[in-house]
Structure 1
Amino acid sequence: MTTYKLSSNENPFPPLPGIEEAVARAAARMNRYPDAGSTALYAALAARLGVATEQLAAGTGSVAVLYHLLQAFCDPGDRVVTAWRSFEAYPIAIGINAAEPVQVPLTADGRHDLDAMAAAAAEPRTKVVVLCTPNNPTGPALTHGEVEDFLARVPGEVLVVVDEAYREFVRLEGAVDGVALLAEHPNVVVMRTFAKAYGLAGLRVGYAVAHPDVAAAIRACALPFGVSAPAQAAAVAALEHEAELMERVEAIVTERERVVEALTAQGWDLPETHANFVWLATGERTADLVTAAEEAGIVLRPFAGEGVRASIGEREANDRLVEVAAKFVP
C-alpha cells in the first residue's frame, strides 16, 4: 500500500520539466558559490511584483527570512505578537532571538483576533506583530480591509509582518494583498515563499518585500550564500512558468473544496480554509485519529489535545483522509 504524506503541506505535483532543466544547469556549476546578491532572482521578483530590488530580501525559506528580521529588529526582552495557534516556527524563532512571544488566542472559528492583537501591539517593547494569512494550521484568511483597519491601530514603529506563504490558494473576495499594503504602510513586511504553490519545498527559497531600509537590515543578517544556485535558478524558472503552476494550484483548490464538502457532510465543523490544508478539531482524540490515519497509509500533522492538520494531496490520499475522518466526527 502506498503511504501518502499529508503532514507538511507540500505540493503533490512533480516539478515541471522547464524548472528541472534550470536546476540541472545550475547544479552543473556546483563547484562555484551562488550569487550572494541573488541578482537574477531579485530582478525577476521585482518585475513580477512591481517593486524595487532594494525592497527584497531572500532566504532559505520564509522561515529563515523571519529569523533574520527578528535578529535585525529585536533586542532581548522585546515583544513579538502572534496569533495562536499559528505557525509553529514563530515561537521558536522568537525564542532564539531572546524576545518575548506574546500569543493571542484565535477566535472560536480559527481566525485571528485582530482587536486583541492590536491591543497587545500597543504595549511597550512590542517590536513585531506577525499576521499569518491564511493561518497555519487552521486555514482562514484575512481581508485587505481587516488588515488596513488593524494597521491604523498599531503604532507606526511596530513592524507588521504579513506572512502570505499560502496566498496563491486564497479564493476569498477582498483578500489581503501585502505588497499593496506596503505601498501605504512602510512598517509592513510581506513574507512569501516558493515552497508551496510553486512546488520548491526541497530547495528552500523564500523572500520578504519591505521598505528598503527594512529589507537592507534583513539582508545584513542573512548568512552569505544562503540561497543556493539551483534554488535561485528554480525560483526564476518558476516565475517564468507561473501560468502552468497556477493551473496546478487551481486543481489543488478544486480538490480542497471537494474534501471540505465531504467532511462537512459527515458533520465536521471546519474553519474556512483558504490554504492547501484542512483543520480537524479532534481534541483529546487527536492521537487516535493520527494512528488510524497511519494504518490507512496517510501521515497527518497532529497538535496534541487540539486537532489535526491534513494537507491536500493526491486524490487517493484525500479519499483515505475522508474515510478515516468519518470515524471521528465530534
Structure 2
Amino acid sequence: MSSPQPRPNVADIPPYVAGKPPAVRPGMVSYKLSSNENPYPPLPGVVEAVQQAVGQMNRYPDMGSTALYAKLAETFEVPADHLSVATGSVGLIYQLVQAFCDPGDEVVFAWRSFEAYPIAVTAAAATSVRVPLLPDGRHDLDAMAAAVTDRTKVVLVCTPNNPTGPAITQAELDAFLAQVPGHVLVVVDEAYLEFVRTDDPVDGIATYRRHDNVVLTRTFSKAYGLAGFRVGYAVAPAPIAAALRAVSLPFGVSTVAQVAAIASLERRAELLERVEALVAERTRVVEGLRERGWDVPDAQGNFVWFGLGERTADFALAADELGIVVRPFAGEGARVSIGEPEANDRLLDLATRFPR
C-alpha cells in the first residue's frame, strides 16, 4: 500500500546540532559555552519594553515589521525597502536559497563553516559546493571564486567564520567580488560583525551599496543578546530584499521580538560597551591559550576554535568535567564561546591540563 512520500532530498537534509546545555554538577556552577550566546542579560530597558508588548499577545504581530524597519533604516542609513527581517540570520539564509535557487542549482560556501548552510541548501533541493578552508581557518576566496560555475546561483561568505573564527578583509572581499559574475548572489553573513577587531575590516553597508548582487545577513542573537527571540535582518538592493520578503513566513517575527530589537537598537551605545568587554575577554583567553602552547586561529567572533581532530570528543568530555560545555564537531575540533570570566578561567585551566 502506497503512502505519501516527501521529496527525495528531504531524507538527505543533515540535522542541525544545537549546543547542549551544561550538566548539573552538585556544588559547582556550570557554564554553557556551546552556542555563542551573549553571557550578559538583556540591556536595561529591553525587558521592560518586552513586558509591555506581552500584553498584546492576543493580537498578531505587525506583519510588515514597520517600526523595526524604520529603526533599522535610521540606524544604518539605508532605505527601508532595502531591508528584510526574519527569524534570525539563519531564517534569511533559508529564504535566500529558496528565492534564488532551482533544484540542482549550486551554492558555494567554505567548509567548515556555519552548519546551517548545507541544511538550507539541501532543503531547497539545491547542490552544496564545499570549498575547504585554508589551514589557518580562513576562507580560500580564490578557490571559492574558481568553484563558481554556470550552475552557481549563490555564494555564502561567513565573516567572521563560524566555527573557526577568522574574518576576511575588505580588500579580500573586493578582490573576490571582482571575480564573481554579477548574476551570482553573494551573501555576506555578518552574524558576528560587532566583535571584529582587525585591520581593514569589511564595511558591509558600503559594499552592498557598490554591488547589485551583494546581500548582508545580520542577527540580534549574538552581540545584542536576543537569541531567545529569533530576529535577524538582511540589507540588500531593493529587488533582492523584495524577494526575501516575498518568501518570508507571514507573522514570522513576533511582536516581542520586534519590540526587543527596537529597544536594543535604541541602546546601541550601551551594547557596544558590553561588546568591548567581551572582546577584552576574548583577547585574554586567546593570549592565555597561546601562552600555554595552543595554536588557535585568529578569533574575531565571540568564540575560539580548537582544531583537535580525533581528540575532539576527549576534549569535550574533559571540559564537561570542569563544568563547561563546548560545541564539538566530531573528528574536526571544538568551538568554545567566550562566556563569563569564571567560565573562561576554566577553559584556560582545561588548556593547561589537556595535552596539545
% identity of equivalent residues: 66
The structural deviation recorded for 1:274 is 0.6
Matched AA of 2:292: Q
Q: Give 3-state SS (helix, strand or coil) of 1:274's partner.
A: coil
Distance 1:181 1:71 in 2: 24
TM-score (norm 2): 0.92
Unaligned residue ranges in structure 2 (runs of 5+): 1-27
2:130 aligned partner: 103
Q: 1:25 Cα shift? A: 1.0
Q: In structure 2, give the amino acid aligned to 1:117.
A: M
Choose from 321, 325, 330 the match for 2:347: 321
Measured in 1, the distance between the counterparts of 2:209 and 2:270 equals: 29
| Unmatched runs of 5 consecutive residues or more in structure 1 | none
Q: Say whether residues 1:54 and 2:78 are aligned partners.
A: no
Aligned position for 1:11 = 38
How do residues 260-275 of structure 1 correspond to structure 2 at under 5 angstroms? Answer: 260-275=286-301
- 16, 22, 33: which is aligned to 2:49? 22
| Correspondence for 1:234 | 260
> Which residue of structure 1 aligns with residue 169 of structure 2?
143
Mapped contact 1:68–1:221 kept (Cα < 8 A): yes
Contact 1:160 1:187 in 2 (8 A): yes
Aligned amino acid, residue 279 of structure 2:
V
CA distance in 2, matches of 1:251, 1:284: 33
In the aligned structure 1, how far is the partner of 2:227 from the partner of 2:345?
24
Whether the 8 Å CA contact 1:282–1:328 is kept in 2: the answer is no
Hey, what does 2:140 align to over in structure 1?
Answer: 113
Partner of 2:6: none
| Contact 1:266–1:329 (CA under 8 A) maintained in structure 2 | no
- 2:102 corresponds in structure 1 to 75
Cα deviation 1:28-50 (Å, max 9, x = unaligned): 10000000000000000001111
Residue 68 of structure 1 aligns to which amino acid in structure 2?
Answer: Q
Matched, 1:251 2:277: yes
- Aligned runs of 1:77-226 on 2, under 5 Å? 77-121=104-148, 123-226=149-252
TM-score (norm 1): 0.99
Residues 1:43 and 2:73 are matched in the alignment: no
Q: Distance in 1 between the 2:188 and 2:201 partners? A: 12
| Matches of 1:69 and 1:307, distance apart in 2 | 29
**Structure 1 residue runs of 4 or more that deviate by more than 6 Å after TM superposition:** none
Tell me the CA shift for residue 17 of structure 1.
Answer: 2.7
The structural deviation recorded for 1:227 is 0.1
Distance 2:354 2:308 in 1: 8
* Matched letter for residue 62 of structure 2: D
1:268-303 CA-partner distances (Å, limit 9, x unpaired): 111111110000111111101100111110000001
Please give the alpha-carbon distance, in whole angstroms, between the structure 2 residues aligned to 1:86 and 1:307. Answer: 12
Match of 2:323 in 1: 297
How far 1:16 moved relative to its partner?
1.9
For 2:268 and 2:68, the matched residues in 1 are separated by 14
Give the deviation of 1:179 after TM superposition: 1.3
Distance of 2:335 and 2:49 partners within structure 1: 33
* Residue type of the alignment partner of 1:91: P
Instruction: Give, as a single letter, the amino acid of the residue that structure 1 aligns with 2:113.
Output: S
Inter-partner Cα distance in structure 2 for 1:283 and 1:254? 28
- Report the AA paired with residue 5 of structure 1: K
Measure the CA separation in 2 of the matches of 1:117 and 1:174.
Answer: 21
Maintained 8 Å contact 1:267/1:329? no
The number of residues matched between the two structures is 329
Which amino acid in the other structure matches residue 25 of structure 1? Q
Q: Deviations 1:178-211 (Å, cap 9, x if unpaired)?
A: 1110111010000000000001000011011111
